[in-house]
Amino acid sequence: MYTEETEINYIKQIIEDIITITNSISNNSDNVKVSASIGAVIYNNNDFSIKDASNKLEISLSNCIRKGNNKYEIYNEKYEPHINIESIEKSIESGAITLYYQPKVDVKSKKIKGVEALIRWFDEEYGYITPNKLIGFAENTGYISSLGRWIIRKACEEIKELNDTLGQRIDLSVNISPYQLEDEKFLNDIKDIVKEIGFDQELLKLEITENENMESIDKIHQIFKEIKSTGIKVSIDDFGKGYNSIDYIKNYNVDEIKIDKSLVEYLENNPLFIKSLINMIHTTNAYVVAEGVERKVEYDFLERMGCDFIQGYYCYKPMSFNHLLEIIKKDTI
C-alpha cells in the first residue's frame, strides 16, 4: 500500500544510489574521488511555489553540508528557525548575522568598481537562514527600519575602512525595502549615519526593487528626488522583473539600472532586445549593470552590447569583508 513513508523511502534510495555512484568515477585508468551533498524537499499537496521550495532546499542543503561529504538531508519543519527580534539582535551582537559583499566589475577595465552589501545569517542550531526569511520577518513586524539602519551603518563602516586602507573609491550599494521608504525618518537616518561615519555619500547607492507595495509614481519620484539631493545615488534593482519597469526609464532620474538575471539568461536568444534596452537606458545617462552573469559567453556578449558593469558568479561570488579586502588588494597591484 502506498504511504508517505513509502515515498520518502523511495526518494532516500534514489539519493543513496546517486551518492554510491559518485563515490568513485572512473576516468580511463584514473579514479577520481567525487563526493555529493544532497538536499531534498517533499510536497504532499498543491501548496507549492518555486520560492518556498528554493528556501527549503537551501536550509536542507546547509544542514547536509555541515554533516560532511556524501550525506543527504530531507527537509523537516524542525529546521525552520523560530525568528524573533531578540534572536536577530543576539545574532547581530555575536556576529552570526553579518554582511557579505558581491563585487561589481567594470566591463572595460575588468576591475572591481563597486560592491553590493548582502545580509547573511549563519545560526549554530539552524544553519544558514535565508535572507528572504530574515527580511520577510523584518518587513512583516515593522523591524525593517531598525535592521536597515544596522545594514547601512555596518556596510558604510566596512567599505570606508577598505577605501581608506587601500586608497580606493569603491562604491557601495545597499538594498532598500519599499517599507523603509515609507518611514519618514528614513532619509534623515541615512544622512546621519553617513555623516557620523565620514562615508563619502557620492559613493553610496540605494538599490530599490520595484514592488507592488510601492507608492504612486509621483510619490516615488519625490522620494528619489530627495535621496539624490543629498548626493546619494539611486539604483533600480531587478529591472525587467517588476510590474512597470519601463516607467523607471521614462519617469525617474536614476543613476543606475540593474538588468535582472532572468533577462541575462535569455540574452543569446534576444540580442537585439538587450542591445535596444541598454541603449535606451543610456539615453537617460544611467549606468547599466547586468546581474547573474555566470558564463564567459554572457560576459563577452554584454561587453559587445555596451553594458557598463557585470555582477555574477562568473566574476565573483558574494564574500566576507576580509576576503573582499584581499581580493581588491590584489586587484590594485
Three-class DSSP category at 310: strand
Q: Kindly give the residue spans of alpha helices, DSSP state H, lying in the chain.
A: 4-23, 50-67, 85-94, 131-141, 144-166, 178-181, 186-197, 217-229, 245-251, 261-265, 271-282, 296-304, 321-331
User: Is it the case that residue 194 has pLDDT exceeding 80?
Assistant: yes
pTM: 0.79
pLDDT of residue 177: 92
pLDDT of residue 191: 95
- What is the sign, positive or negative, of the torsion defined by CA atoms of 197, 199, 201, 207? negative
State the Cα–Cα distance between residues 291 and 235, nearest whole angstrom. 13
pLDDT of residue 29: 57
- Confidence grade of residue 162 (pLDDT, cut at 50, 70, 90): very high
Beta bridge partners of 241: none
- 91 φψ region: left (φ > 0), alpha (ψ -120 to 50), beta (else): alpha
Given a contact cutoff of 8 angstroms between Cβ atoms, the answer to whether 139 and 179 are in contact is yes
Domain 85-331 = CATH 3.20.20.450? yes
pLDDT of residue 2: 41
Q: Helices (H), strands (E): how many in the chain?
A: 13, 13
State the Cα–Cα distance between residues 234 and 250, nearest whole angstrom. 15
Q: Kindly give the residue spans of alpha helices, DSSP state H, lying in 97-143.
A: 131-141
CA distances from 28 to 25, 31, 32 (A): 10, 8, 10
Find the mean pLDDT for residues 82-98.
93
pLDDT of residue 48: 63
Distance of CA 258 to the CA centre of its chain: 12
Where are the extended beta strands (E) located within 178-329?
204-209, 233-239, 256-259, 287-290, 309-310
- Confidence grade of residue 330 (pLDDT, cut at 50, 70, 90): confident
pLDDT of residue 23: 64
pLDDT of residue 128: 83
Q: Which percentage of the chain shows pLDDT scores above 90?
A: 51
| Per-chain mean pLDDT for the chain | 84
Beta strands 112-123 and 127-129: pairing type?
A: antiparallel
Given a contact cutoff of 8 angstroms between Cβ atoms, the answer to whether 289 and 256 are in contact is yes
pLDDT of residue 164: 97
Query: Where along the chain do its domains lie?
Result: 4-79, 85-331
Amino acid at 26: S
Residues 6+ apart with CB under 8 A from 155: 99, 117, 172, 174
∠50-52-58 over CA atoms, to 5°?
100
Three-class DSSP category at 175: strand
pLDDT of residue 253: 83
Given a contact cutoff of 8 angstroms between Cβ atoms, the answer to whether 161 and 201 are in contact is no
**Higher pLDDT among residues 87 and 36, named by residue:** 87
- Confidence grade of residue 32 (pLDDT, cut at 50, 70, 90): low
DSSP 299: H
Find the mean pLDDT for residues 78-95.
85
State the Cα–Cα distance between residues 292 and 238, nearest whole angstrom. 10
What pLDDT digit, counting tens, does each position of 269-323 carry? 778 888 998 999 999 899 999 999 999 999 999 999 999 999 999 999 999 999 9
Three-class DSSP category at 79: helix
Q: Which range has the worst mean pLDDT, 57-61, 129-133, 149-153? A: 57-61
Residues 6+ apart with CB under 8 A from 47: none
User: Is it the case that residue 220 has pLDDT exceeding 60?
Assistant: yes
User: Is it the case that residue 174 has pLDDT exceeding 90?
Assistant: yes
User: Is it the case that residue 92 has pLDDT exceeding 80?
Assistant: yes
User: Is it the case that residue 65 has pLDDT exceeding 90?
Assistant: no
Find the mean pLDDT for residues 37-61.
71
Given a contact cutoff of 8 angstroms between Cβ atoms, the answer to whether 286 and 257 are in contact is yes
